[in-house]
Amino acid sequence: MSVRGLTRLTKRFACPPAYTTRRGAMYCADSLQHLRLMPADSVDLVLTSPPFALVKKKAYGNRDAERYVPWFMDFAVEVRRVLKDTGSFVIDLGGSWLPGVPVRSTYQYELLIELTRPGRFHLAQDYFWYSPSRLPAPAEWVTVRKVRVKDAVNTIWWLSKTPFPKAGNERVSLEYSEAMRRLLKNGCKAGKRPSGHDISTGFRKDRGGAIPSNLLVISHTSSNDHYLRRCRTTETPIHPARFPADIPLYFINMLTDVNDVVVDIFAGSNVTGWVAEHARRRWLALETDRTYVEGSAFRFESDCPPPDNEFIGSRKEVTLRRLRVKSTPRRLPTGRTRNEAGAARLPKERGAA
């Protein structure tokens, strides 16, 4: 493949890519085996949605909750190795119920604890993705017996190799609310609030947008996009667990620069690669199921429109600023510069030698 800099990452792969684009390559391959063939410190962002530990399994197979953590940790060890020190590992995980009872599995929290043991990853931040359009499920507990409410939130763990991964929240800022716009215009009274927060005059400064929170409100709305239409007309199986483009778009914008390398190790219909391509990042995607790989290629046809994000935000009744798909941002701060800049000001860690 010809994408500059990616050849170095894939030169030990035995199989050729299923397809390549200007900036990336999709492999129909097992990601664990292939991560092991990739060089250390070579990737800026691994962004993925693995098979969840579901009781009612999807067509592509899911692990049981009890065996999930050891299964996933094999991948995590390799992801840590291939990540640069400034890199991030973002994992989208849906919740799960225990078989036969209205009780939740805690597998994604157990996984997080395992992933963040000393010498592994840092939890840069935990995110929650709320999808208002989620259907009420499981029917037995939610709509029949009515003893639970619908499960509409996925956890997204943003992990990093060092405490200061490359990141910039201004790259995913929201439109200011009406109230904030008024405040910017009229000013606010500086001073201590009952909450203890010290509101300085800095609050009056227009920073071009509001800082988002770690609650992402993103609906699963697309039912007739190019990918779906092409899958239907060619009778190619539609991937049953695609995430909305907003998810990769948000994290790619916030955590990487143009030309950085983004990898999805459970790529499915390759939403990550598609978004990365339009955001001008180099990308690598790995997926074991050939039919999903075939379908994912439809995203790169010339008549496929670019991803259109529609709803990222954390507040009701605000105009949400669209993230630009073609961003040409200034370089993001890296761990190194942040570390160095912050070193003088940071208090010594307790217990540190």
**Residues at the site binding ligand SAM, with contacts judged by CB under 6 A:** 30-32, 49-51, 60, 239, 241-243, 266, 268-269, 271, 286-289, 292
Q: Which two tokens mark 15?
A: 């199989």
SS3 of residue 286 by DSSP? strand
**Residue of 42, 49, 131, 269 marked catalytic:** 49
Return the number of the residue (44 or 289) whose C-beta is nearest ligand SAM: 289
Residue 158 C-beta: closest distance to ligand SAM, Å: 16
Using alpha carbons, list the distances in angstroms from residue 271 to 228, 236, 239.
Answer: 12, 16, 11
Return the number of the residue (222 or 314) whose C-beta is nearest ligand SAM: 222
**Residue of 17, 31, 51, 92 marked catalytic:** 92
Residue 325 C-beta: closest distance to ligand SAM, Å: 16
Residue 90 C-beta: closest distance to ligand SAM, Å: 11
Residue 12 C-beta: closest distance to ligand SAM, Å: 17
Catalytic annotation on 92? yes
Return the number of the residue (49 or 105) whose C-beta is nearest ligand SAM: 49
Cβ proximity of 52 and 62 under 8 Å: yes
Q: How many CB atoms lie within 10 A of CB 40?
A: 11
Round to whole Å and give the CA distance between 262 and 47. Answer: 7
Q: What angle do CA 121, 127, 130 make, to 5 degrees?
A: 150
Return the number of the residue (174 or 325) whose C-beta is nearest ligand SAM: 325
For residue 209, what are the β-bridge partners? Answer: none
Return the number of the residue (3 or 91) whose C-beta is nearest ligand SAM: 91
The alpha carbon of 19 is separated from its chain's Cα centroid by a whole number of angstroms, namely: 23
Catalytic annotation on 85? no
Provide the strand spans (E) within the chain: 19-20, 24-28, 43-48, 83-93, 122-130, 153-160, 191-192, 198-199, 215-217, 261-264, 282-287
Residue 33 C-beta: closest distance to ligand SAM, Å: 8
Residue 205 C-beta: closest distance to ligand SAM, Å: 38
Diameter over CA atoms, the chain: 65
Return the number of the residue (51 or 87) whose C-beta is nearest ligand SAM: 51
Using alpha carbons, list the distances in angstroms from residue 76 to 3, 205, 214.
Answer: 26, 41, 23
Q: Residue 178: enclosing H or E segment and its boundaries?
A: helix 178-186
Q: Residue 227: enclosing H or E segment and its boundaries?
A: helix 226-234
Q: Quick one: 186 exposed, middle or buried, by C-beta within 10 A (0-12, 13-18, 19+)?
A: exposed
Return the number of the residue (174 or 225) whose C-beta is nearest ligand SAM: 225
Beta strands 19-20 and 24-28, pairing class: antiparallel
Residue 292 C-beta: closest distance to ligand SAM, Å: 5
Beta strands 83-93 and 43-48, pairing class: parallel
Catalytic annotation on 269? no
Q: Which two tokens mark 201?
A: 């005059």
Q: Active-site residue numbers?
A: 49-50, 92
